[in-house]
Amino acid sequence: MKLQETYEVFARQWRKDPLQHVGTVVAPNGDLAAAFARTIYNEEAWVEMQVAARKNFIPAIEIREEGK
């Protein structure tokens, strides 16, 4: 059984910017995922950072060829 889950990490450096994917963490719960994200992805002074469990992502468009 897998006790750990994968979380995607999003952040932005300026208020004018959109949130951007900056990486991934694996953690047993959301609180720890947020803590790991703050310490691992500390390369900028972010104004916002969010984590979301990968399993909650619903592909509205599956990855496809560009320009189609």
Residue 17 near other proteins by CB under 8 A = no
Q: Residue from 21, 55, 57, 58 that binds other proteins (CB under 8 A)? A: 21
26 interacts with other proteins by CB under 8 A: yes
Q: What is the signed CA dihedral for 4, 49, 37, 60, rounded to 10 degrees?
A: 40
Question: Per rule CB under 8 A, is residue 1 in the interface with other proteins?
Answer: no
Q: Is 40:25 a contact under the CB 8 Å cutoff?
A: yes
Dihedral pair phi/psi, residue 37, rounded to 5°:
-60, -45
Q: Contact positions toward other proteins, by CB under 8 A?
A: 6, 21-26, 39-43, 63, 66
